[in-house]
Chains A and B, each alone.
Chain A
Amino acid sequence: MNGKQRVLAAINGDYKDRPALSLTLSLYGARLIKCPLTEYYCDPDKYVEGQQKSVDIIAPDLVYSPFALPLYGKAFGSEIKIYQNQAPNLAKPVIKKIEDIKKLDFKRAIESAEINYFVESIKGLHRALGDETFIGAIALGPVDLPIMLMGIGDWLDLVISYPDEAASLIEKTSDFFLKLSELFFDAGASAIVLPSCFVNPSIVTKEIAIDLLAKSEKAFANAKGPLVLHSAGAKLLPFLNIFQELKNVAAFVISSDDDIQNARHYLPDGQVIIGNLEGPDLNRMEPNEIAGETEKICNTCDADPHFIFGTSGADIPYDTPLENIRIIKETLEMSR
């Protein structure tokens, strides 16, 4: 079986030779090809080269488009910081006061160099790896994009103190998301992966979550392909019962703090569960520890046909020894 077949088998609940493997190697690809991040996060060819290398060396079954969310902010005029060895960060949001929301230029953003970088990266991944590998295109959803436009504090304030303005912005970001996801699917994405940076139990109350998801419902309902909701490191479990009702969501990347069996309890209809090894911790774990964790998770999910083993959270850190990643694949191979 190839990687794509394994992931599709997990979606359909069919037989697979071993659990499919999802590793968040977006950043790590730059290390594998020794590419400076200033280049890697703006040149789609370099990004594809990095991911190709990760497939050659580690062979995950699922690869991701750039996990560089602040670039979405940059597409609208936010300033970002590029580091030597970590994914970019938001430095100065474009929205400084409520009135600035009206100035957001969604048309210009969709035609920006940053969105073009994402689209071309997906096209390149599709050309290079699409026959054999499942391609997850990372996109910011309607209620998460505002974080990159105004910062999480001001977005929280807007949601709580100015709900009408927040609703009006979500209406626009929902349309933006639909255009973006169409571009990504046309470019060859197998699924769109939405990191749920804002709607999670460590950030908002359940009432706020329900309200925000209702306001962004059309973005989910009208998506032209499968969506994957990514925990972005926070626990998903307390909100899974509301997330599982969203249209077109085929899979969830849960947190390493979520109990997998409990998660399955909330997802009885065969939605795929992806995770549950903490990716950002891999640089400070020993290979035998990683193997032990991998084995434990695989044993727990042995009977679950809709499970994909993978790293939870954000990127696997740049300084992670390669043997720490390879051991995951080796352990998985042994669990055949």
Chain B
Amino acid sequence: MEKTKDKFFGFLVAADKAGALQFIDHWAESKSYEKALLEVVEPALQKFGKLWARQEDVNLAQGYISAKIAESVLLRIVEERKQNETQIKTKGIAVVGNIEDDYHALGRKMVYNFLLISGWEVYDLGNDVLAEEFVNKAVDVNASVIGASAMMYSNAKNMLKIRNALNDRNLSGKIKFAVGGAIFNLRPKLVEEIKADGTAANAIEAVELFNCLTAELGK
């Protein structure tokens, strides 16, 4: 099994989407995509996420292709679940988006994909989202986590408005507030400055963050 995981991990490192999917398709033929997710894809992604967090020779191309691979595997799983009429319990509900004035969508899209494949129900609000829109949507869909993304410091400062909006509506203990984006890796103290509940070093590790934040809510 370790060999299988290592081989799939190799496809992630090589940013080889075609190779990765061919490998998973072949593996799932005798088992299932659901098993492939649990036994091959998730462990390889976690290993890749740790490497990425340490910034060890990992670049955006590899991260992006990993997210696309995750997305494709997810589509296969959805199809498989439909055929088998399997019902899956979601891990939680999240609302994600780029904060007001921010248009750097890539990281947010990757977080969206990794959350989906990990069993989250996710609502993606897109770019340039106002704090009120984040909170309104989170209330509407009963989300446990709001995930806001920004690339630059000047835009990241707008995230404080989310905390203020949560406080104004007495929602801070009920909805967790996660932040991410390149600026938080450069300036880790910014998380405290904008009173967020946590951040993650990359899109893959965001899943673990969302899981932990939801656990803190007792959900």
- With both beta carbons as reference points, the residue of chain A lying nearest to B154 in the complex is identified as A86
Q: Whole-angstrom distance between the alpha carbons of A152 and B108 in the complex?
A: 13
For A161-196 the 0/1 string (1 means CB < 8 A from B) is: 100000000000000000000000000000000000
Which single residue of chain A is at the shortest CB-CB distance from B65? A160
B61 sits at the interface (CB 8 A): yes
Q: Please tell me if B51 contacts chain A, counting CB pairs below 8 Å.
A: no
A90 within 8 A of B: yes
The 8 Å CB contact of B154, one of A85, A153, A203, is: A85
Q: Nearest CB to that of B13 among chain A residues?
A: A205
Chain B, interface size: which category? 10 to 19
B106 touches A204 (CB 8 A): no
Collect the chain B residues with CB atoms within 8 Å of residue A90's CB. Answer: 103
Within the complex, which residue of A89, A202, A205, A208 is in contact with B103, where a contact is CB–CB below 8 Å? A89
Those of B77-108 within 8 Å (CB) of chain A = 101, 103, 105-106
A91 touches B61 (CB 8 A): no
Nearest CB in chain B: distance from A310 CB, A = 20
Contacts of B161 in A (CB 8 A): none
- Complex contacts, A36 vs chain B, CB 8 Å: none
| Residues 93 to 142 of chain A near chain B (Cβ within 8 Å) | none
Chain B residues within 8 Å of A161, by CB: 17, 68
Q: How far is the CB of A328 from chain B (nearest CB, A)?
A: 21
A160-B17 contact given A203-B59, A205-B61, CB 8 Å threshold: yes
Beta-carbon contact of B106 and A205 below 8 Å: no
Chain A interface mostly helix, strand, loop or mixed? mixed
Number of interface residues of A (CB under 8 A): 22
Do A91 and B105 touch (CB < 8 A)?
A: no
- Is the Cβ of B103 less than 8 Å from the Cβ of A157? no
> Bound state CA distance, A90 and B61, in angstroms?
20
CA distance A85 to B101 in the complex (A): 12
> Which residues of the partner chain A approach B64 to less than 8 Å between Cβ atoms?
153, 156-157
Question: Roughly how many angstroms separate A161 CA and B15 CA in the complex, as a whole number?
Answer: 10
Task: With A157-B68, A160-B15, A160-B17 as known contacts, state yes or no: A151 contacts B59, CB within 8 Å.
Answer: no
Q: Within the assembled complex, what's the spacing in Å between the Cα atoms of A239 and B187?
A: 26
Contacts of A157 in B (CB 8 A): 64, 68
CB of B149 to closest CB in A, whole Å: 13
| Contact flag A81-B60 (CB < 8 Å), given A86-B152, A152-B106, A161-B17 | no
A321 close to B (CB within 8 Å): no
Is the C-beta of A83 less than 8 angstroms from some C-beta in chain B? yes
* B15/A205 in contact, CB under 8 A: yes
Tell me which residues from 15 to 61 in chain B have a Cβ below 8 Å from any Cβ of chain A: 15, 17, 59-61
In the complex, whether B62 has a CB less than 8 A from a CB of chain A is yes
Nearest B-chain residue to A233, judged by Cβ:
B182
Whether the pair B105, A151 counts as a contact (CB closer than 8 A) is yes
- Chain B contacts for A292, CB-based, 8 A: none
In the bound assembly, the distance between CA atoms of A317 and B128 in angstroms comes to: 21
**Which residues of A pack against B, CB within 8 Å?**
81, 83, 85-86, 89-91, 151-153, 156-157, 159-161, 201-205, 208, 317
The 6 closest A-B pairs by CB, nearest first: A153-B106, A203-B60, A204-B61, A156-B64, A91-B103, A86-B154
What are 27 residue pairs bridging A and B, where the CB atoms are less than 8 Å apart in the complex? A81-B128, A85-B154, A86-B152, A86-B154, A89-B103, A91-B103, A91-B127, A91-B128, A151-B105, A152-B60, A152-B106, A153-B109, A156-B64, A156-B106, A157-B64, A157-B68, A160-B15, A160-B65, A161-B17, A201-B59, A202-B59, A203-B60, A204-B59, A204-B60, A205-B15, A205-B61, A208-B15
B residues with CB within 8 A of A: 14-15, 17, 59-62, 64-65, 68, 101, 103, 105-106, 109, 127-128, 152, 154
Given contacts A151-B106, A160-B15, 12 further A-B contacts (CB under 8 A): A81-B101, A85-B154, A151-B105, A152-B106, A156-B106, A157-B64, A160-B17, A202-B59, A203-B61, A204-B59, A205-B61, A317-B154
